Amino acid sequence: MHIVICIKQVPDSAQIRVHPVTNTIMRQGVPTIINPYDLFALEEALQLRDRHGGEVTVLTMGPPMAEDALRKALTYGADRAVLLTDRHFAGSDTLATSFALSRAIAKIGEAFGTPDIVFTGKQTIDGDTAQVGPGIAKRLDLLQLTYVAKIVSVDINGREITVERRSEGGTQTLMSKLPCLITMLEGTNEIRRGSLDDALRAARSQIVKWNAADAGIEDLTKCGLRGSPTVVKRVFAPPERAEKAEQIDTAEKTPRDLAEELIAGIFLRQPALESELAFDGE
Amino acid sequence: MLSTNRESPPPAAGRAAMKKELPDQFKDHRHVWVFIELERDQVHPVSFELLGEGRKLADKLGVQLAGVVLGPPGEATWFAIAEAFAYGADLAYIVEAPLLADYRNEPFTKALTDLVTNYKPEILLLGATTLGRDLAGSVATTLLTGLTADCTELDVDADGSLAATRPTFGGSLLCTIYTLNCRPQMATVRPRVMAMPPRGNNKIGRVIQHKVSMIEEEIVTKVLGFLSDGQSATANLAYADVVVAGGLGLGAVENVKLMKKLARTIGADYGCSRPLVQKGWMPADRQIGQTGKTIRPKLYIAAGISGAIQHRVGVEGADLILAINTDPNAPIFDFAHLGVVTDAIRLLPSLTELFTHRLSPHSRDKLAN
Ligand SMILES: Cc1cc2nc3c(=O)[nH]c(=O)nc-3n(C[C@H](O)[C@H](O)[C@H](O)COP(=O)(O)OP(=O)(O)OC[C@H]3O[C@@H](n4cnc5c(N)ncnc54)[C@H](O)[C@@H]3O)c2cc1C
């Protein structure tokens, strides 16, 4: 089977700081990582390949330096990596991103075999939209299985797949057909440590680099800013709250005293709570 | 459908400042729609929160507010419509079909895009739930229109365009996003981000019925089963009235128990900051904040939580925030209402004990006598 997985290189946003005066993001020195949710998807893809045979192709759209993320994915055991990079993609929103990625996946299909499954993570940690996966599925007319917690079974010959997916109040078990697109939840599977062979192979591997034309994209108006119906008009810092918390004076007080004062403070502000807090009698 | 007549990509600011030139085919798009999420006979409360927000937008635009219900034939679907009216909808669109019984992407996408193409709303809002995000992404791509995820504020500007504000860079900044040349303007909003509007008595309004142009045989995906989370508190954290949460300040996994014990004593639900999930001390569905749940309790007690912006955005809607932290400069004191600078590990047992005294029926009786 052929599996394509879309990954994204994201800033390790725990380390991002906002410039206090200009309200711009200070990216200098911020390390990049593979979007953590994509790693769950990658591990799932690798396990399916190990079980059923075939190949895993990783794809990313991004600046030239996104190559690092692809090389990392190769060390985990992916078979092939494709970097889609072109200045025409700059400023893409989710609609334009799903367009470019879907064209690249179609091209990967022509070049290396039609994918049976396309994977993405459930969302990225920088955009947080969860929209690109469904966008790609729609563009490629693939069946869409989002928020998948577990792949129960894949029947390659029967072209059937059964998955468990999270829904608001529980877990749905769905049976669908291949080819399909799956967005993967944080799973229980930790990404594997690649083997030494994988590491050596990754170091030697050629990464396939495509620009828009290579990926068969003729209509550049569907890419980048021009292909993005949404436009960011204003970026600003969250408003400050005027007053700070009222502090309970702690000098020479025992935890019991403080607890007493806190509880008094709560019921003073919210008298109705006293009858609502349920004591469960232990 | 997208505008194709521009030579080169203009810079973001230039484009954002550009006057809106809505293509003719979108000029008759009117009204604000809210997708009423009905799954397994339950309306998700986020739908009512969105009706409250949709009402304000519709009033500003001087247009009508519609609820859209997709569901199987039966009482639950009509009940969802009655509720939509009670929460402020002027009219409702309904597609009733057995194939809409359990959520699947294919028939829902088809039904909702057909409705939009036929009745042309200018704004379409959905909850940022698993269902809403799954559906919104496919509908927006089918219609080739803009979709803004997880908005925290919605407004219309002087031109009548939807201004959708959402956190970016993990909540460190906010950005306001417009959909310039396409309709409808779509947005999702997470549960509990918007306040629940009051429930009125209006139970009637115009109902427009539409058919889904799809039959079961055309739908590839089949639902084999559903395992409900049942009454487990997990499902309710977003809607809990009282929430106790712990952060890294708890120091060790054993101390998480102290926080849970307090929660149990006062009938609260419990949650945590992100590092506790990363350490495996708590399951992911207990995480509160930007990438976890948004909560809006009457009382929120945060023990050993610093109050990073990503945590703050998830709890700001709480009526009363109480913070326990050893660091007087912790950012949580910037948005908490009541604070105490002390060791949470020592304070939590005392809090539990004193709440027990105060709340137990036995001591209440004593007080009464
Ligand atoms: C993209 C992104 C998304 C994120 N999403 C979320 C999210 O959804 N939710 C979330 O919570 N975080 C999120 N984070 C992480 C967030 O930035 C913070 O790292 C996190 O909230 C910090 O958790 P904490 O307050 O428990 O830990 P710390 O920041 O380590 O703070 C611990 C606090 O405990 C205090 N303390 C120490 N000992 C004691 C004691 N004995 N008694 C009392 N207080 C004590 C310390 O003074 C300190 O203030 C996200 C980050 C990123 C980059």
Which amino acid belongs to residue B104? R
Query: Nearest to residue B100, comparing CAs of B210, B231, B228?
Result: B210
pLDDT tens digits, one per residue of B112-155: 999 999 999 999 999 999 999 999 999 999 999 999 999 999 99
Q: What is the pLDDT of residue A228?
A: 95
Cα-based distances in Å from B82 to A104, B15, B78, B88, B101: 46, 43, 6, 10, 19
> Average model confidence (pLDDT) for chain A?
92
Dihedral angle, C-alpha A11, A35, B291, A169, nearest 10 °: 170
Is the confidence at residue B198, as pLDDT, over 70?
A: yes
User: Of the residues B273, B313, B324, which should be mutated to test ligand 1's pocket, given the most ligand atoms within 8 Å of the CB?
Assistant: B273
Query: Nearest to residue A215, comparing CAs of A60, A45, A70?
Result: A60
Is the confidence at residue B298, as pLDDT, over 90?
A: yes
pLDDT band for position A113 (cuts 50, 70, 90): very high
pLDDT tens digits, one per residue of A136-187: 999 999 999 999 999 999 999 999 999 999 988 889 999 999 999 999 998 6
| A111's tokens | 């070049």
Report the distance separating Cα B193 and Cα B165, nearest Å.
Answer: 12
Query: Nearest to residue B68, comparing CAs of B101, B12, B116?
Result: B116
Q: What is the pLDDT of residue A14?
A: 60
pLDDT tens digits, one per residue of B201-218: 877 899 999 999 899 999
Report the distance separating Cα A72 and Cα A76, nearest Å.
Answer: 7
Contact between B169 and A18 using a beta-carbon 8 Å cutoff: yes
Cα-based distances in Å from A211 to A15, A21, B68: 31, 37, 42
Q: What is the pLDDT of residue B228?
A: 87
Is the confidence at residue B317, as pLDDT, over 50?
A: yes
Looking at per-residue pLDDT, the higher value among A63 and A238 belongs to A63
Is the confidence at residue B7, as pLDDT, over 50?
A: no
Report the distance separating Cα B106 and Cα A143, nearest Å.
Answer: 8
pLDDT band for position A37 (cuts 50, 70, 90): very high
Cβ of B311 closer than 6 Å to ligand 1, yes or no, is yes
| B290's tokens | 């930007």
Cβ B126 vs Cβ B44: under 8 Å: no
Q: What is the pLDDT of residue A125?
A: 85
pLDDT band for position B5 (cuts 50, 70, 90): very low
Contact between A13 and B359 using a beta-carbon 8 Å cutoff: no
Kindly list the residues from chain A whose CB atom is less than 8 angstroms away from the CB atom of residue B347.
Answer: 255, 258-259, 262
Query: Nearest to residue B124, comparing CAs of B142, B106, B99, B107?
Result: B142
Ligand 1 centroid–CA B278 distance in Å is 11
Angle B86-B90-B91 from CA coordinates, rounded to 5°: 105
How would you label B160-170 residue by residue, b for 16+ Cβ within 10 Å and e otherwise? ebbbbbbbbbb
The bridge status of strand B162-168 relative to strand B153-156 is antiparallel
User: Of the residues B192, B193, B248, B340, which should be mutated to test ligand 1's pocket, given the most ligand atoms within 8 Å of the CB?
Assistant: B248
Ligand 1 centroid–CA A72 distance in Å is 29
Q: What is the DSSP letter of B105?
A: H
Helix (H, G, I), strand (E, B) or coil at B49: helix
pLDDT tens digits, one per residue of B64-97: 999 999 999 999 999 999 999 999 999 999 999 9
Q: What is the pLDDT of residue A19?
A: 72
Q: What is the pLDDT of residue A280?
A: 54
Cβ B277 vs Cβ B286: under 8 Å: yes
A91 touches chain B (CB under 8 A): yes
Report the distance separating Cα A121 and Cα A148, nearest Å.
Answer: 10
Of A49-53, A277-281, B236-240, give the lowest mean pLDDT range: A277-281
Mean pLDDT value across residues B233-249: 87
Q: From A278, which residue of chain B is nearest by alpha-carbon distance? A: B267
Q: What is the pLDDT of residue B234?
A: 52
Q: What is the pLDDT of residue B204?
A: 84
Q: What is the pLDDT of residue B302?
A: 98
> Which value does ipTM take for this structure?
0.92
Q: What is the pLDDT of residue A189?
A: 76
Alpha carbon B177 to chain centroid distance? 18
Mean pLDDT value across residues B254-258: 97
| A265's tokens | 């403070």
- Which residue owns the Cα nearest ligand 1 atom 12? B274
Residues above pLDDT 70, as percent of chain B = 91
Helix (H, G, I), strand (E, B) or coil at B326: coil
Residues with Cβ within 8 Å of residue B93, at least 6 apart in sequence: B33, B66, B67, B68, B69, B115, B119, B207, B208, B209, B210
Ligand 1 centroid–CA B274 distance in Å is 7
Distance from CA of B173 to the nearest CA of A (A): 5
Is the confidence at residue B284, as pLDDT, over 90?
A: no
Is the confidence at residue A44, as pLDDT, over 60?
A: yes
Looking at per-residue pLDDT, the higher value among B180 and B368 belongs to B180
- Which residue owns the Cα nearest ligand 1 atom 14? B310
Is the confidence at residue A239, as pLDDT, over 70?
A: yes
Q: What is the DSSP letter of B292?
A: S
Q: What is the pLDDT of residue B14?
A: 46
Which CATH code, of 3.40.1830.10, 3.40.50.620, 3.40.50.300, 3.50.50.60, is assigned to A1-225? 3.40.50.620
Please name the helix (run of DSSP H) or strand (run of DSSP E) that holds residue B224, with its range, or none.
Answer: strand B222-228
Mean pLDDT value across residues B252-276: 96
Query: What does the domain layout of chain A look like in residue ranges?
Result: 1-225, 240-281
Report the distance separating Cα B93 and Cα B80, nearest Å.
Answer: 11
Cβ A180 vs Cβ A188: under 8 Å: no
Cβ of A14 closer than 6 Å to ligand 1, yes or no, is yes
Q: What is the pLDDT of residue A188?
A: 67
